Amino acid sequence: MRSPGRAGAAQGGVPLIRPPSIIASKDLEVTDKVPPPPERLAPHKWLGRGALKKYCRQERQGLELYLSKLAEERIRNHALSKKEERLEVMGFLLGTVHRFRNVTYTIVKDVATTSLEATSVSVRFERGGLEDLFCALDTTDFNYVLVGWYHSHPGHGCFLSETDVNTQLRMFDRPWHSAMVIDPVQMDIAAFAMKDGKAVERPFAIYWDEFQNPYYGETVRNRRVRSDPDGMAAPQ
Amino acid sequence: MNVRIRNAETGGTVDMELEGENTVQEIIQGASAFWNKDDGAYVIRKGKRLLRGQQSVAQSGIADSDELELIPDPEGGA
């Protein structure tokens, strides 16, 4: 297999330079693994009633995205740290990909980020910050895959903008890739995936490890819910 | 020389044969084309070091059996 590059040609004594060529390849092996058990799962405290209904429905069918308590805390704190300035934040979701009962799912164990070029409506990694990002990636103690990315929409709500969809289609195009959006002002969070070229919400659970305190501690305040006619308000 | 390139966003790898005169940009283009990606949206690293596109393999200090990693450079908006 020959990849594109400079077409080397021996002209006038100039030595031929062959473009790089790919001689072997290997795809990710998705392993079978039982997902975190229901007793160590909870929906995010910032979900509204509609999102909570979607969560309950998806939980019965098998969730496709699990976010560790640690990753959740880091994403939330990152977004909250720029809440007053109304600046967006962004980072990678680091995790693993597994399969259980014909459902492919991802576990986000941690996140990685660096200094950013951000406004209230745009964000990207600062050019000079990429090597710090690499250091952050190297501090993980597992063989990570970038199973998606997160960014914030301070005060704008959770959705994928045209720029976000473009990023998702160009880079995170596997069915298991997710885009997580957090709004620290409205206390809202959602994950999305691309399906048939459209962004669809992907319900996700927070999980915690066996010997950790549960996610439902005092550090995450519940989103305020005005009334609860369906009995679907976020658990306390 | 042969190097291995890992695609951070899929976990896949390719083994690539290089010459010292090849550029880093050509490596990115070759790997991106293999994975059907837009090469403008990626950077490549060797360890903690960002490899510069116009540098040659020799100038970048890439050696036989090195492992490089292709990293996306995303952009978010609202």
Which of these ranges, A2-16, A97-111, A156-170, has the smallest mean pLDDT?
A: A2-16
**Residue A72 has what pLDDT?**
96
**Residue A8 has what pLDDT?**
45
**Residue A215 has what pLDDT?**
80
**Residue A226 has what pLDDT?**
57
pTM, whole model, 2 decimals? Answer: 0.89
* Each residue's pLDDT tens digit, B13-49: 999 999 999 999 999 999 999 999 999 999 999 999 9
Residues β-bridged to residue B4: B15, B67
Residue A44 DSSP one-character state? -
Chain B residue numbers touching A131 (CB-CB < 8 A)? 48-50
**Residue A223 has what pLDDT?**
72
Report the complex ipTM.
Answer: 0.95
Half-sphere exposure of A93 (CA within 13 A, CB side): 30
The answer for A 20-79 residues in CB contact with B (under 8 A) is 20-28
Chain A residue numbers touching B8 (CB-CB < 8 A)? 137, 144-146
Domain presence at residue B58: yes
- Is residue A148 helix, strand or coil? strand
**Residue B33 has what pLDDT?**
95
Helix (H) or strand (E) holding A101: none
Domain presence at residue B77: no
Q: Domain of B29? A: 2-72
Q: Which residue of A has its CA nearest to B72?
A: A171
Check: CB of residue A27 under 8 Å from CB of residue B36: no
Total structural domains in chain B?
Answer: 1
Q: Domain A63-207, what fold?
A: Cytidine Deaminase; domain 2 (3.40.140)
pLDDT higher than threshold 80 for residue A12: no
Residues β-bridged to residue B77: A122
The CATH number of the domain holding residue B30 is 3.10.20.90
**Phi, psi angle pair for A103, to nearest 5°:** -105, 120
Domain presence at residue B8: yes
Q: Give the whole-angstrom CA distance, residue B55 versus residue B42.
A: 16
Chain A residue numbers touching B11 (CB-CB < 8 A)? 27-28, 97, 143, 145
A1 CB within 8 Å of a chain B CB: yes
**Residue A7 has what pLDDT?**
47
Higher pLDDT, A48 or A108: A108
* A23 contacts B33? CB cut-off 8 A: no
- CA-nearest of B61, B60, B62 to B17 is B62
pLDDT higher than threshold 90 for residue A67: yes
Domain presence at residue B78: no
Q: Give the whole-angstrom CA distance, residue A234 versus residue A43.
A: 8
